[in-house]
């Protein structure tokens, strides 16, 4: 709709058109807006024990064997909560259905070249 076409009779239609255009622009801006960055705060060994649910000696053993993500500054160990939760999630045991699906996929992949 051009500004030249607006008359008093078509004013309501022009306002409705502008409202629709503003809503569309607002939707585009909201979809492309990045979420605010969350500041990661390091936590100590006690909080890490509470999050993981293990005792301090177990945590020290996991760190010593390089199984647990941590940061060392001097004599203190630091952890990030999101890394600990990700570490816990990686330890998920596979269900029988997942194991069977992997075996079947692996079998199909290797059996394509076999001729009988």
Helix (H) or strand (E) holding 71: strand 71-73
CATH number of the domain within which 90 lies? 1.10.10
Number of domains the chain contains: 2
Length of the chain: 116
> Does residue 8 fall inside a structural domain?
yes
Residue-range definition of the domain harbouring residue 16:
3-32
User: Both 23 and 71 in a single domain?
Assistant: no
Reduce the DSSP state of residue 76 to 3 states and report it.
Answer: strand
Query: Tens of pLDDT along the chain (116 residues)?
Result: 555 677 878 888 888 999 999 998 888 888 887 666 778 899 999 999 999 999 999 999 999 999 999 999 999 999 999 999 999 999 888 889 989 999 998 888 887 655 65
From the number of C-beta atoms within 10 Å of its C-beta (0-12, 13-18, 19+), residue 62 rates as: middle
User: Both 46 and 23 in a single domain?
Assistant: no
Are residues 42 and 82 in contact, defined by beta-carbon separation less than 8 angstroms?
A: no
pTM attached to this predicted model: 0.54
User: Both 9 and 48 in a single domain?
Assistant: no
Q: How far is CA 6 from CA 15, 21, 72, in A?
A: 10, 16, 69
> Does residue 45 fall inside a structural domain?
yes
User: Both 76 and 59 in a single domain?
Assistant: yes
């Amino acid at each position: 709709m051009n500004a030249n076409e607006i008359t008093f009779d078509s004013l309501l239609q022009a306002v409705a058109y502008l409202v629709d255009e503003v809503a569309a622009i607002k939707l585009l801006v909201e979809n492309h807006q990045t979420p605010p960055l969350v500041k990661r705060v390091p936590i100590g060994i006690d909080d890490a024990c509470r999050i993981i649910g293990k005792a301090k000696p177990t945590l020290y053993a996991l760190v010593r064997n390089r199984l647990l993500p941590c940061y060392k500054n001097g004599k203190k160990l630091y952890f990030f909560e999101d890394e600990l939760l990700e570490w816990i999630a990686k330890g998920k045991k596979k269900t029988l259905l997942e194991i069977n699906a992997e075996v079947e996929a692996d079998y199909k992949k290797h059996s394509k070249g076999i001729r009988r």
